[in-house]
Amino acid sequence: MNDFSCTVRMWDGEYTVGLQHLKSYNYLPQECQQMQLISDRIHRLRENENLEQAARAVLKHLGELKRPYLTVVEEKVLSLIEQEYGVNEGNKPIANS
């Protein structure tokens, strides 16, 4: 964090943004951890050079969600992509319906 900006790690990279452009979603600490886990999973998959366009599109959608959880279907799709590309699923967040 600098005087007028900070570096934010997102699912698709790191960005330096002005403090005036940051918005709080007022997530609880546990929800922030869930968001971090989802972001980490998506980031690991995006590092794969052989990732197909369809998988990239799904990951983009999941990365842009503005809620701290995945639905059951979203979790299944993300897990399937992880399985297909042999990416360690690690600490999977709990899916909500």
Question: What is the pTM (predicted TM-score) of this model?
Answer: 0.76
The helix or strand, by DSSP H or E, that contains position 30, with its residue range, turns out to be helix 29-46
DSSP 68: S
User: Which pairs from 50-58 meet CB under 8 Å and 24+ separation?
Assistant: 50/85, 51/85, 55/81, 55/84, 55/85
Do 85 and 51 touch, CB atoms closer than 8 A? yes
pLDDT confidence of residue 20? 81
The predicted pLDDT at position 97 comes to 46
What pLDDT is recorded for position 3? 74
97 residues of the chain, pLDDT tens digit each: 567 888 888 778 888 988 787 777 788 999 989 999 999 999 999 999 999 999 999 999 999 998 999 999 999 999 999 999 998 755 454 455 4
